[in-house]
């Protein structure tokens, strides 16, 4: 049978009519990508600047002040804290409150004036090598000439190379800047987000599409029973994924595992629950399985891009960071990296635990509210 | 003839009960003024219905007339916009979760899990209803409806008749007092349909009450009483004879000669409302016997054989429906 233009056109017309009828899909296909292009276009920045930095100036000399001033001027560093001890610096780095910490040692200026080229310590939270790369490059370029304006008169001899002081950079937690250390544990969160949301997203819509919902509603089953009952089996799948990623991180990628694995497993439960709750809530909103998949996908994309998984979280503008803070993946990434690479305990994880818990409660409440007990 | 006002209680029912008073003590279903609107459209309009315990009540009406909506309101799947009354002695608007435990609802479309076996489906339902001695209840239910041999078969691979049996078994597993069956025999072969109805009569004899929607006239005549609904209004109710009588039709049967030409000639004549071919005969019906007779007289030639016959249920329903269209459009 030969290709007939009329028949072909009949199909085209029919498809257009159906496309127009399915407003939701149409909106998803046109509207959401538009929003996302704008969102991600402005939010993503692989050369993050204004990274929070703490300074511990044991020697508060004009040289130290000039150096700090220069850091700020480089636009890579925002001095958010003047620390009072080395211990405070360590704490700030562990909890992820700052990306960098500068320590100006005692006697810095005296040694400098003597031409002894004292050490200046820059510590970085290098769990995500991409976040610190440009900044450390900038600071290295700065050392040779930063103090030149202060080195006048007889001090001019200290100018030039070698620079008057020695900048020591300590990339903590991932000293070799191996990006796998950051990516592989992060993948755990990404995989869970993708699969858990998708699979539970189908849960209620499948019942509705197959007509079994009417039957289920005519039984005494309550919304909470149905929703939780549908979530639980997938927890086991989630745990299987977590185990797989952990094994791969350990055996294949040799990712360091400094912290407590049981703690990670316990907190992973919360994160899996969060994603299942998103899925089940989508499932009560979507009219059919296709819509549920689309919604899952459009939840996944911001999670991937705004959580700090693909691009440094601190590179994003404030509003995008605020959006990212609302996503469970953002917090879970910090937890995973914190436990595996930094050896964080529950106390250090706590600031990222409660947002996920809040998210779970909110999502489940929304899901139960949206779950219609009648066919109205 | 005008439709019986929906609000009037069926005479046969109230008097026959002799139980009057109370929240429908002798009635499984006793509701009034039931109304449902979708958007601005009234799908069920001010319907009253009374069904006695152990009765098989047939609910008939054209597609989209509101039968399914009415059933869904009775078992709490839809929220009524108006109406009051009792279902199994419970306020049907407020106690829907209690009613759900005592009612079995069989949906029009097969609504069990096709990827579960018969036994797994029944077991699931039994768990939801928290049935004591679940295993035994499932076993018994499988046996009672002759499903035992297929217990391990996936529900999706069953033929229409077997699916319907499974659905019935699942509706019965929690021993409900009332069964709402929505077109239970659509697409089922005559033998399976007859078996199904025998089963229903057996269960009704045991005290179970049935409200069944159907399009089949033979099934309608197997019900104790009928209600006929069109465009959301209950147009007639009572026994088969009462419903036929309510339509107020006169029917003539004619045979011999060129019937299709005769049918064309008769259609549209004053008083002639229905001309239906039944094999080698033609049925002509109308509500105004005199007017119809006058229209037929010129055709009453010796070549044709004319006899006055009893009006059928189908003639009555079609007449009711046509009238309803006149009244509500």
Instruction: Tell me which residues of chain A, numbers 202 to 231, contact chain B at a CB-CB cutoff of 8 Å.
Output: 210-215, 217-221
Q: Which residues contact B229 (CB under 8 A, 6 or more apart)?
A: B47, B59, B60, B61, B65, B66, B67, B70, B235
| Chain A contact present for B97, CB below 8 A | yes
What residues of chain A lie within 8 A of the CB of B114, using their CB?
Answer: 210
Distance of CA B238 to the CA centre of its chain: 12
Least confident among A260-269, B3-12, B92-101, B183-192: B3-12
pLDDT of residue B10: 38
Q: Which tens digit of pLDDT belongs to each residue from B53-102? A: 999 999 998 888 899 999 999 988 999 999 999 999 999 999 988 999 99
Percent of chain B with pLDDT over 70: 91
What distance in Å separates residue A204's CA from the closest CA in chain B? 13
Put simply, whether B158 touches A (Cβ < 8 Å) is no
CA A181 to centroid of chain Cα atoms: 14
Note the pLDDT tens digit of each residue in B189-214: 888 889 899 999 999 999 999 999 99
B160 CA: distance to closest CA in chain A (Å)? 16
Mean pLDDT (chain A, rounded) = 86
Q: What is the mean pLDDT of residues A10-18?
A: 87
Structure confidence by residue, pLDDT tens digits, A30-78: 777 777 777 777 777 778 888 899 999 888 888 888 888 888 888 888 8
- Model pLDDT, residue A142: 79
pLDDT at site A250:
87
Tell me if chain A has a CB within 8 Å of the CB of B114. yes
- Look at residue B327 in the predicted model and tell me its pLDDT: 55
Q: What is the mean pLDDT of residues B177-183?
A: 94
- pLDDT, residue A29, reads 72
pLDDT at A231: 87
Task: Please state the domain extents for chain A.
Answer: 51-172, 179-370
Q: What is the DSSP letter of B303?
A: T
What is the model's pLDDT at position B145? 83
Q: Which candidate from A210, A214, A219 shows the least CB-CB separation from B129?
A: A219
pLDDT at B3: 41
Q: Which of A137-141, A296-300, B117-121 has the lowest mean pLDDT?
A: A137-141
Beta carbons within 8 Å of B94's beta carbon, 6+ residues apart: none
- How many angstroms separate the CA of residue A286 from the nearest CA in chain B? 20
Number of Cβ pairs < 8 A linking chain A and chain B: 46
What confidence score (pLDDT) does residue B130 get?
A: 92
SS3 B53: coil
Give me the domains of chain B, ranges plus CATH numbers: 11-239 (3.40.50.300), 250-310 (3.30.70.2070)
Has residue A253 got a pLDDT over 90? no
Q: In this predicted structure, what is the pLDDT of residue B4?
A: 41
Q: What is the reported pLDDT for A160?
A: 67
Chain A residue with the nearest C-alpha to that of B167:
A215
Q: Which of B36, B38, B72 to mutate to test the interface with A (most CBs of A within 10 A)?
A: B72
- pLDDT (mean) for A5-16: 88
Is residue B47 very low, low, confident or very high in pLDDT (cuts 50, 70, 90)? very high
pLDDT over 60 at B118, yes or no? yes
Task: Please list the helix, strand and coil fractions of chain A in percent, rounded to the nearest 5, in that order.
Answer: 65, 10, 25
CATH class name, domain A51-172:
alpha beta
B78 touches chain A (CB under 8 A): yes
CA distance B221 to A14: 44
The predicted pLDDT at position A256 comes to 85
Minimal CA separation from B8 to chain A, in Å: 28
Is the Cβ–Cβ distance between B278 and B307 less than 8 Å?
no
Give the HSE-up count for residue B140: Cα atoms under 13 Å, Cβ half-sphere.
12
State the pLDDT confidence band at B1, using cuts at 50, 70 and 90. Answer: very low
Interface test with chain B among A220, A373, A376, by most B beta carbons within 10 Å: A220
Distance of residue B57 Cα from the nearest chain A Cα, in angstroms: 20
pLDDT band at B325 (very low <50, low <70, confident <90, very high): low
Comparison of pLDDT for A26 and B277, the residue scoring more: B277
Q: Within an 8 Å CB–CB cutoff, is residue B109 touching chain A?
A: yes
B107 CB near a chain A CB, below 8 Å? yes
Kindly give, in sequence order, each residue whose CB lies less than 8 Å from that of residue B240, ignoring residues fewer than 6 positions away: B220, B221, B223, B226, B313
Residue B249 has pLDDT above 60, yes or no: yes
Summarised one tens digit per residue, pLDDT across range A316-330 is 888 989 999 999 999
User: Does the beta-carbon distance from B107 to A215 stay under 8 Å?
Assistant: yes
Tell whether B128 is within 8 A of chain A (Cβ): yes
CA distance A14 to chain B (A): 26
What is the pLDDT, as a whole number, of residue B16?
36
Task: For residue range A231-243, list pLDDT tens digits in order.
Answer: 888 888 888 889 8
Is the pTM here over 0.80, yes or no? no
**Mean pLDDT of the region B288-314:** 90
Least CB–CB distance from B97: residue in A212, A220, A375: A220
Strand order of the β-sheet with B233-238 is: B103-106, B178-182, B209-214, B56-60, B225-230, B233-238
Question: Chain A partners of B129 at a C-beta cutoff of 8 Å?
Answer: 219-220
CB contact under 8 Å between A214 and B107, yes or no, is: yes
B211 in contact with A at a CB cutoff of 8 Å?
no
Q: What is the pLDDT averaged over residues B139-157?
A: 91
Tell me the β-bridge partners of A123.
A101, A170
Query: ipTM of the predicted structure?
Result: 0.79
Local structure of B225: helix, strand or coil: strand
């Amino acid at each position: 049978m030969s290709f007939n233009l009329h028949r072909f056109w009949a199909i085209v017309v029919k498809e257009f009519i159906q496309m127009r009828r399915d407003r939701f899909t149409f909106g998803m296909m046109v509207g959401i990508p538009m929003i996302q292009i704008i969102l991600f276009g402005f939010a993503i920045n692989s050369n993050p600047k204004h990274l929070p930095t703490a300074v511990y100036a044991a020697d508060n000399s004009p040289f130290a002040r000039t150096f700090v001033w220069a850091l700020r001027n480089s636009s890579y560093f925002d001095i958010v804290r003047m620390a009072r001890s080395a211990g405070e610096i360590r704490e700030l780095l562990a909890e992820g409150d700052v990306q960098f910490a500068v320590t100006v040692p005692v006697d810095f200026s005296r040694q400098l004036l003597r031409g002894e080229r004292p050490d200046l310590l820059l510590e970085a939270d290098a769990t995500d090598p991409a976040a610190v790369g440009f900044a450390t490059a900038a600071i290295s370029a700065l050392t040779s000439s930063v103090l030149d304006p202060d080195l006048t008169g007889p001090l001019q001899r200290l100018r030039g190379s070698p620079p008057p002081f020695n900048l020591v950079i300590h990339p903590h937690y991932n000293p070799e800047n191996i990006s796998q250390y950051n990516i592989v544990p992060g993948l755990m969160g990404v995989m869970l987000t993708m699969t858990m949301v998708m699979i539970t997203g189908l849960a209620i819509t499948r019942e509705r599409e197959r007509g079994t919902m009417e039957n289920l509603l005519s039984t005494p089953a309550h919304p909470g029973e149905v929703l939780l009952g549908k979530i639980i089996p997938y927890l086991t799948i989630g745990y299987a994924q977590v185990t797989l990623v952990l094994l791969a991180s350990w055996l294949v990628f040799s990712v360091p595992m400094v912290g407590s694995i049981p703690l990670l497993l316990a907190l992973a439960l919360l994160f899996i629950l969060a994603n299942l709750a998103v899925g089940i809530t989508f499932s009560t909103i979507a009219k059919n399985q296709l819509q549920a998949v689309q919604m899952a996908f459009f939840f996944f994309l911001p999670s991937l891009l705004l959580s700090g998984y693909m691009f440094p979280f601190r590179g994003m503008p404030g509003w995008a960071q605020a959006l990212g803070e609302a996503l469970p993946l953002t917090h879970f990434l910090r937890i995973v990296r914190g436990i595996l690479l930094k050896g964080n305990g529950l106390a250090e994880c706590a600031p990222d635990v409660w947002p996920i818990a809040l998210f779970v409660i909110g999502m489940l409440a929304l899901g139960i509210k949206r779950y219609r007990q009648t066919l109205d | 003839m005008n439709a019986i006002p929906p609000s009037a209680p069926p005479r046969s029912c109230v008097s026959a009960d002799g139980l009057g008073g109370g929240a429908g003590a002798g009635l499984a279903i006793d509701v009034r003024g039931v109304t449902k609107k979708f958007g601005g459209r009234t799908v069920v309009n001010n319907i009253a219905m009374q069904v006695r315990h152990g009765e098989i009540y047939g609910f008939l009406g054209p597609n989209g007339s509101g039968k399914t909506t009415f059933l869904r309101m009775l078992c709490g799947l839809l929220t009524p916009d108006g109406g009051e009354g009792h279902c199994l002695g419970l306020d049907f608007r407020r106690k829907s979760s209690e009613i759900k435990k005592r009612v079995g609802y069989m949906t029009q479309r097969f609504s069990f899990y096709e990827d579960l076996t018969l036994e797994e489906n029944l077991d699931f339902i039994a768990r939801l209803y928290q049935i004591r001695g679940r295993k035994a209840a499932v076993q018994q239910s499988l046996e009672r409806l002759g499903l035992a041999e297929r217990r391990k078969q996936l529900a999706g691979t069953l033929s229409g008749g077997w699916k319907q049996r499974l659905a019935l078994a699942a509706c019965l597993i929690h021993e409900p007092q009332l069964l709402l069956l929505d077109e239970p025999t659509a697409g089922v072969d005559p033998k399976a349909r007859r078996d199904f109805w025998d089963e229903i009569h057996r269960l009704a004899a045991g005290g179970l009450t049935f409200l069944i929607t159907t399009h089949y006239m033979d099934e309608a005549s197997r019900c104790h009483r009928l209600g006929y609904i069109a465009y959301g209004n209950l147009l007639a109710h009572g026994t088969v004879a009462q419903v036929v009588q309510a339509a107020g039709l006169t029917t003539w049967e004619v045979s011999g000669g060129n019937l299709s030409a005769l049918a064309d000639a008769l259609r549209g004549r004053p008083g002639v409302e229905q001309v239906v071919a039944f094999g080698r005969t033609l049925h002509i019906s109308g509500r105004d016997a005199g007017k119809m007779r006058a229209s037929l007289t010129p055709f009453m030639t010796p070549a044709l054989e004319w006899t006055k016959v009893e009006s059928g249920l189908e003639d009555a329903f079609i007449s009711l429906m046509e009238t309803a269209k006149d009244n509500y459009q």
